[in-house]
């Protein structure tokens, strides 16, 4: 998830674990679902696209990573894509990890989320 690590770095975070628990960053790109990065536990980080459906907050997708404080390695441990898909394995989800590090990471870059984070950082500097 180099794009997410880049976004965090651009916004002044050396590590995902520098966010406070429940602290969230939302990046907006026109014509795309918002991207939210949120520390959801002591060592867990959620990365998600959200939308509202009939008043409910939906994920498309949300991946929760366990972040190793010593190595900085991110391991995908939970995957949600509403309304019907949920996977959880504390040991890791290899297929989800591959998707996150490959296709999704490239898509986030191509869709302009890294550029939007750069613009956000410049605007708040």
Q: What is the DSSP string of 38-97?
A: EE-SSSEEEEEEEEEETTEEEEEEEEEEEE-TTT--EEEEEEEETTTEEEE-TT--HHHH
Which parts of the chain have pLDDT scores under 50?
none
pLDDT at site 106: 97
CA distance linking residue 28 with residue 117, whole number of Å: 9
Q: What percent of the chain has pLDDT over 70?
A: 100
Q: How many domains does the chain have?
A: 1
User: By the 8 A CB rule, do 64 and 78 touch?
Assistant: yes
End-to-end CA distance of the chain: 25
Q: Which domain holds residue 21?
A: 2-101
In a domain, 50, yes or no: yes
pLDDT at site 29: 96
In a domain, 18, yes or no: yes
pLDDT at site 124: 82
Cis peptide before 83 (omega within 30 of 0): yes
In a domain, 120, yes or no: no
Q: pTM of the full predicted structure?
A: 0.94
pLDDT at site 31: 93
In a domain, 13, yes or no: yes
pLDDT at site 54: 93
């Amino acid at each position: 998830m180099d794009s997410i690590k880049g976004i965090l770095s651009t916004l002044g975070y050396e590590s995902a674990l520098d966010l406070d628990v429940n602290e969230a960053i939302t990046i907006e790109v026109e014509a795309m679902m918002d991207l939210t990065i949120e520390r959801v536990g002591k060592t867990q980080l959620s990365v998600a696209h959200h939308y509202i459906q009939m008043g409910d907050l939906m994920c498309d997708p949300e991946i929760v990573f366990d972040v190793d404080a010593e190595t900085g390695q991110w391991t995908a441990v939970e995957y949600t894509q509403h309304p019907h898909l949920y996977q959880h394995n504390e040991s890791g989800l290899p297929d989800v990890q591959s998707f996150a590090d490959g296709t999704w990471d490239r898509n986030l870059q191509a869709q302009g989320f890294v550029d939007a984070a750069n613009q956000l950082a410049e605007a708040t500097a």
